[in-house]
Amino acid sequence: MFLLRIIVFLILLSLILILAYPLLIVFNIASGGDGFGLCNDLVTCVIPVSEGPKLLVYLISIFFLLVLLLRLIMKYMNTLQSKNSIL
């Protein structure tokens, strides 16, 4: 049961990081960085048109996959708790 709670915590942390990743890229570019490898030089940076939607699809699909996994683990934890109940 403790291991399942650790897994739930890691999934929730991953969900927060997925939601914060685009903000971290923008913050990195705004502070003079390369956007985590997205752009080497802002003056001569050429980003393909499909790069943004591709990143969006990746992040959304990973987000929903983690939500599904979280839902399955929570249902499993509920069944374990109901089996251990004395009622």
Q: For residue range 56-81, what is the model confidence (pLDDT) as tens digits?
A: 899 999 999 999 999 999 999 898 88
Question: Cα(44)–Cα(25) distance, rounded to whole angstroms?
Answer: 18
Taking the whole predicted model, whether its pTM rises above 0.85 is answered as: no
Distances (CA, A) of 58 to 6, 10, 17, 19, 22: 25, 19, 13, 12, 12
Each residue of 18-52: pLDDT tens digit? 989 888 888 888 887 777 777 777 777 777 788 78
